[in-house]
Amino acid sequence: MSFLEQLREWQASHAILFGADTAPYCLDQRRRYQGQTLAVARPNSTEQVQQLVRLCAEHQIAIVPQGGNTSLCGAATPLNDGQSLIISLERMNQIIQVDADNNTITVQTGVTLAQVQQAALNVKRLFPANWAAAQSCQIGGALATNAGGVNVLRYGNMRELTLGLEVVLADGEVWNGLRGLRKDNTGYDLKQLFVGSEGTLGLITQAVLRLYPLPTAHATALVAVDHPAAAVELLRGLQAEVGDRVTSFELISAPCLDLLHLHFPRLAQPFQPTPAWCVLIELSDGGDSAALTDRLAEYLFAHGCMDAYVAQNLSEAAAFWQLRESIPEAQRIDGVSIKHDISLPIGAIPDFLEMCDAEMLSAFPGAKIVAFGHLGDGNLHYNLFLADKTAGVYEQEQAVNELVYRHVASHNGSISAEHGIGQLKRETLQQVRSELELTLMRQIKRSLDPQGLFNPGKVL
Amino acid sequence: MSFLEQLREWQASHAILFGADTAPYCLDQRRRYQGQTLAVARPNSTEQVQQLVRLCAEHQIAIVPQGGNTSLCGAATPLNDGQSLIISLERMNQIIQVDADNNTITVQTGVTLAQVQQAALNVKRLFPANWAAAQSCQIGGALATNAGGVNVLRYGNMRELTLGLEVVLADGEVWNGLRGLRKDNTGYDLKQLFVGSEGTLGLITQAVLRLYPLPTAHATALVAVDHPAAAVELLRGLQAEVGDRVTSFELISAPCLDLLHLHFPRLAQPFQPTPAWCVLIELSDGGDSAALTDRLAEYLFAHGCMDAYVAQNLSEAAAFWQLRESIPEAQRIDGVSIKHDISLPIGAIPDFLEMCDAEMLSAFPGAKIVAFGHLGDGNLHYNLFLADKTAGVYEQEQAVNELVYRHVASHNGSISAEHGIGQLKRETLQQVRSELELTLMRQIKRSLDPQGLFNPGKVL
């Protein structure tokens, strides 16, 4: 039986889509990558995934694993050759087990991040991963890209939140590594290979994730700072005082606030006038919010943060967060920008900004630099608006990237903090990682996926 | 030039020992493994390590990387064939950089754990890894075994504390992955391969490790509990109240306290009579100890922990910890026991203990079960004294292990939580991991070390 004949036979059982029905799965959310596919298979069990992978292996058909398709780097979108099969995990959306004693949750990887958060909440636990796409992104994609978000400072990336995986390998074998253990030193830690590999080494079908005690107290503040160096100092001082209660520490520059003024005038901004920089701070803890809020306010007052606004209730806190979370949308409305998701040693951020900004404004006069991000993790979203705000600006992308990544390299940073490589940064990866590192990665790829079936054209 | 001729030429520069001088490096600390070696090389730089590895690769001589030689599984001791070269990192003991803004420390891997702790303390930061061998174990060994200890509950294992590595590979190439970044999603996370690989994939020469805010407040308590299930309940209740201030949560059984009474009668024990179980709790935080201590005392009182002793000062706290830390030595004085370092889903621990104890006492009447460990991590040290307290008892080891590991398997646990595999559990590993997992591990080994030079006879 041919590959397509077999797919047609499985059409009902494996919920397979053909032709025009595949279109939504072939376009990435930033609308930069429009691919083509032979079909979209939507298995509802690990066994069905296994059958599909075996079929692909037999016919040497490439596989594009797909979750919520929210990648910012085109990692989940097929190439343009139309020769691959998308395997969407969207029907594998069951919470398998929540173990409050062990603080773990076991899920099929087609569940959304929001589903996992809710299931944890139902037993008074926290699943701390959180970012804008929580309602639509799936855990499989979050694992495959080692996603980050706003709580990494306190709880780590998806890698640190993962205890066990079930993975369908390139030959269709299923590796069952669904252990819910905090400590397990029995040979090589295989799950680490698959987390962050962007679907190029295997297809993650189930996962055991860590849960945490549910914080009952929150304190939120927006604080103006003169300079990013003052933000770093405030972060370290606050941590010395309250330790890991500092859950989020987000840096926001004046151009972000200006964009919000322009495109979301109804979102109230407390500052008058707009400061050069501000930070959004969130503390969380057991106990009650009033005491924690007082403590944050006292700390800010005692340390001379005069232009500081401490949320007095949940709706004020939500409003502060809405400002932060509306930045990407305000950018989108404003036009096409050239984006960078970089990380740096935290102490190097002030110097990086000073040097990179200066060269950028000199090389691209009139450029608007929209910088914001997770300062506590050393993660900056460093985005550029040039005069051309259409897709035409991408003609400048290479020159802009070369400039930014040169400063990233000289400050020992990374060109991709949390978004991954996908298609977008695949060529850049070849330039920023050493030949030895690329060789090691290729060896691992060859060892686990000798036919190169999984997600070709991504990462390597 | 022959291999040995070259070593003799390097004798002074690479501080190479031959003959009887190698003896201390050939015996493991538990005195179970007595190996032999061609020589012990003690390079003082990555370049010298590289020269040695290249020489070994050229002559196909096996390499045993060695740190403080404190492995509990014989992972750092050479085999008996006398055909390998020990490379000791003891002269590579420099702290390279402490970056308080970035909360990182960069070290050569021959530094001791205590040196790293002290260097962090000097800039008011915490390096949280801690265990009994802190003064003598080296960071390279800690990384190679993904070591754990008493603070894992709060801060994670060595894997979670590692941001970057420099590794000499099997062909003598040096991989420089010394990045100090919290977020870096640029291809496969190569460092994860080497952490926990017990020196079988490469030789770690430098590392960038995470530092944390230094807690200024501590509260310590010894609390009697009726049953391990009550201990689990206390842990989760306390975490709901104070979150990650719960830094350690150690379970101790009555036979441990009896052994301490017998062999360390001068160590005061607060309980009268000895309870069936107790837990040692440590909270840490910013602020001052008095308030934290009050909060712990109030919590214990409010939750009906009547036989509870909260340390009122540092020396009482130290005395409680001394009890916990003297258990291994009390065991050693008592005689030879059969030890297990296991982990379980935390909620499964009470049931495991009930079932395994019952079968053990039935199969080995009169056996004394000495169970203690890091309950918060699901990590138990489950040790057996039989009538024979000499090395003769090892004749029973296989039968005892079979029984224990069967219950570990049926409770989805691990046969090695934090000590690793080494020589001790190499054969057992073949039984407890699936054929698929072993095949994947062998593929990785072959891919990175095709000649099998690094630490043969360990792990795989």
Q: CATH code at B245?
A: 3.30.70.2190
Buried b (16+ CB within 10 A) or exposed e, A237-259: ebbebbbbbbbbbbbbbbbbbbb
Which of A195, A197, A346 comes nearest B102 by C-beta?
A: A346
Q: What is the pLDDT of residues B261-283, one digit of tens each?
A: 999 999 999 999 999 999 999 99
pLDDT interval class at A29 (50, 70, 90): confident
Q: What is the pLDDT of residues B343-365, one digit of tens each?
A: 999 999 999 999 999 999 999 99
* CA–CA min distance B153, chain A (Å): 8
A434 near B CB under 8 A: yes
- Please give the residue of chain B at the shortest CA–CA distance from A450: B443
Report if residue B458 sits inside a domain. no
Q: Which of residues 51-80 of A touch B (CB under 8 A)?
A: none
- Please give the residue of chain A at the shortest CA–CA distance from B447: A443
A189 and B192 in contact by Cβ < 8 A?
yes
B312 near A CB under 8 A: no
User: Which residues on chain B are in Cβ contact (under 8 Å) with A121?
Assistant: none
Pair (B315, B354) in one structural domain:
no
Which contacts (CB < 8 Å, 24+ apart) does range A288-294 have?
Answer: A288/A216, A288/A217, A289/A216, A289/A217, A289/A218, A289/A219, A291/A217, A292/A217, A292/A218, A292/A219, A292/A245, A293/A219
* CA–CA min distance B102, chain A (Å): 5
Report if residue A102 sits inside a domain. yes
Cα separation, A138 vs A65, whole angstroms: 12
Pair (B104, B185) in one structural domain:
yes
Q: What pLDDT is attached to residue B31?
A: 86
A436 and B173 in contact by Cβ < 8 A?
yes
Pair (B305, B237) in one structural domain:
yes
User: Which residues on chain A are in Cβ contact (under 8 Å) with B186?
Assistant: 414-416, 421, 425, 429, 432-433
Report the domain count for chain A: 4
Q: Could you tell me if B356 and B305 are in contact, meaning their C-beta atoms sit under 8 angstroms apart?
A: no
pLDDT interval class at B30 (50, 70, 90): confident
- Please give the residue of chain B at the shortest CA–CA distance from A431: B186
Cα separation, A131 vs A210, whole angstroms: 17
Neighbours of B66 (CB within 10 A): 29
Which of B152, B183, B437 comes nearest A152 by C-beta?
A: B183
Pair (A84, A101) in one structural domain:
no
User: Which residues on chain A are in Cβ contact (under 8 Å) with B447?
Assistant: 443-444, 446-447
A183 near B CB under 8 A: yes
Domain holding B395, by residue range, is 341-436
pLDDT interval class at A3 (50, 70, 90): very high
| Alpha carbon separation from B48 to A70, B62, B350 (Å, rounded) | 47, 17, 51
Average pLDDT of the segment spanning A337-341:
96
B199 near A CB under 8 A: no
User: Which residues on chain B are in Cβ contact (under 8 Å) with A413?
Assistant: 181
Q: What is the pLDDT of residues A165-208, one digit of tens each?
A: 999 999 999 999 999 999 999 999 999 999 999 999 999 999 99
pLDDT for A84 beyond 90? yes
Enumerate helices (H) and strands (E) in chain B, giving the number of each: 15, 17
User: Which residues on chain B are in Cβ contact (under 8 Å) with A183?
Assistant: 148, 152, 157, 343, 374, 377-379, 414, 417-418
pLDDT interval class at A421 (50, 70, 90): very high
Q: Which of A323, A349, A373 is the last residue of a domain?
A: A323
Decide: helix, strand or coil at residue A144.
helix
- Please give the residue of chain B at the shortest CA–CA distance from A460: B187
Q: What is the pLDDT of residues A211-261, one digit of tens each?
A: 999 999 999 999 999 999 999 999 999 998 898 899 999 999 999 999 999
- Please give the residue of chain A at the shortest CA–CA distance from B441: A188
A19 near B CB under 8 A: no
Which of A102, A173, A433 comes nearest B436 by C-beta?
A: A173
Which of B183, B196, B347 comes nearest A343 by C-beta?
A: B183
Which of B99, B184, B192 comes nearest A192 by C-beta?
A: B192
CATH code of the domain containing A52: 3.30.43.10
Cα separation, B157 vs A182, whole angstroms: 9
Q: Could you tell me if A205 and A143 are in contact, meaning their C-beta atoms sit under 8 angstroms apart?
A: no
A437 and B180 in contact by Cβ < 8 A?
no
pLDDT for B244 beyond 90? no
Which of A344, A437, A459 comes nearest B175 by C-beta?
A: A437
Q: Which of residues 106-145 of A touch B (CB under 8 A)?
A: 124, 145
Which of A100, A348, A418 comes nearest B185 by C-beta?
A: A418
CATH code of the domain containing B384: 3.30.70.2740
| CA–centroid distance for B293 within its chain | 29
Average pLDDT of the segment spanning A328-340:
95
pLDDT for A287 beyond 90? no
Report if residue B260 sits inside a domain. yes
Q: Which of B294, B313, B334 is the last residue of a domain?
A: B334
Pair (A349, A402) in one structural domain:
yes
* CA–CA min distance A262, chain B (Å): 32
Pair (A412, A370) in one structural domain:
yes
Q: What pLDDT is attached to residue A25?
A: 98
- At residue A146's C-alpha, the angle toward residues A150 and A135, to 5°, is 55
B343 near A CB under 8 A: yes
Cα separation, B354 vs B377, whole angstroms: 19
pLDDT interval class at A327 (50, 70, 90): very high
Cα separation, A182 vs A167, whole angstroms: 20
- Closest-CA residue to B52 (of B9, B23, B96, B113): B9
Pair (B104, B175) in one structural domain:
yes
CATH code of the domain containing B106: 3.30.465.10
Report if residue A426 sits inside a domain. no
pLDDT for B132 beyond 90? no
B181 and A344 in contact by Cβ < 8 A?
yes
Report if residue B251 sits inside a domain. yes
- Closest-CA residue to A423 (of A11, A41, A80, A117): A80
Q: What pLDDT is attached to residue A138?
A: 98
A83 near B CB under 8 A: no
Pair (B358, B399) in one structural domain:
yes
Q: What pLDDT is attached to residue B286?
A: 86
- Closest-CA residue to B368 (of B344, B398, B417, B334): B334
Which of B103, B243, B415 comes nearest A186 by C-beta?
A: B415
A105 near B CB under 8 A: no
Pair (B114, B67) in one structural domain:
no
A442 near B CB under 8 A: no
DSSP conformation class of B215 = P
Q: What pLDDT is attached to residue B32?
A: 87
Q: Which of A294, A323, A352 is the last residue of a domain?
A: A323
A97 near B CB under 8 A: no
Q: What pLDDT is attached to residue A408?
A: 98
Pair (A81, A128) in one structural domain:
no
Q: What is the pLDDT of residues B192-218, one digit of tens each?
A: 999 999 999 999 999 999 999 999 999
pLDDT for B130 beyond 90? yes
Report if residue B448 sits inside a domain. no
Report if residue A78 sits inside a domain. yes
User: Which residues on chain A are in Cβ contact (under 8 Å) with B189?
Assistant: 146, 159, 192, 195-196
Pair (B261, B207) in one structural domain:
no
Pair (B107, B188) in one structural domain:
yes
Report if residue B197 sits inside a domain. yes
Pairing between β-strand A62-66 and β-strand A84-88 as defined by DSSP bridges: parallel
